[in-house]
Amino acid sequence: MRTDFIFDILKNRHNQLIELVAKCPEDKRNLVPEGFKNNIHWHIGHVLTVTEFHVFGLSEFEQYKKLPSTYQDFFAYGTKPGDWQEEPPTWDFLIDQLRNQPDEIRELLEDKLDVPVKENFLNAETFGELIVSTVLHVTDHIGFVSAMLKTLK
């Protein structure tokens, strides 16, 4: 039950973000609205990149990381589109990765929710706690994107 809940809510939040960003007109995906420092394209890549970092980079499961290291240059904490030196991965490619990420995480680590993780800035003690922290992070970005969409209209 607990395992299903944790992995289902991760997938649910990813799907909520995907449904929300689908409302963004193509011509506004790369606009940075006044009062924001990033565009919606960045938020998609950021959630994808940071989810992988939180789940695998802060645990003992770093070997499962699969995103190219260049994603850090585009989408890590503290980055912004104005600093991009080249074109980021396409919107559709990021959406496909975001759609698949929760199932891939579950497949790899479903039976490891209670595995202790190394000391980290999230203060998570187990892999399951890293997932819960990730869900909260994705939820924050759902809020940012929702506000951005209202501003972009």
26-58 residue pLDDT tens: 999 999 999 999 999 999 999 999 999 999 999
pLDDT tens readout for residues 90-104 = 999 999 999 999 999
Kind plus residue range of the DSSP H or E element containing 108: helix 91-109
Tokens representing residue 50 in the block = 């940071």
CATH code at 23?
1.20.120.450
pLDDT at 141: 97
N-to-C CA span, the chain: 41
Q: Whole domain around residue 115: which residue ranges?
A: 2-152
H-type helices in 22-90, by residue range?
40-52, 70-75
pLDDT at 103: 97
Q: Which amino acid is at 67?
A: L
- Cα–Cα distance between 53 and 30 in angstroms, integer? 24
pLDDT at 1: 64
- Cα–Cα distance between 60 and 77 in angstroms, integer? 21
Cβ–Cβ contacts within 10 Å for residue 18, how many? 16
Average pLDDT, the chain: 94
Can you count the helices (H) and strands (E) in the chain? 5, 0
Kind plus residue range of the DSSP H or E element containing 11: helix 2-21
The count of domains in the chain is: 1
Contact 48, 101 (CB under 8 A): yes
Angle, alpha carbons 79-84-89 (nearest 5°): 95
pLDDT above 90 (res 153): no
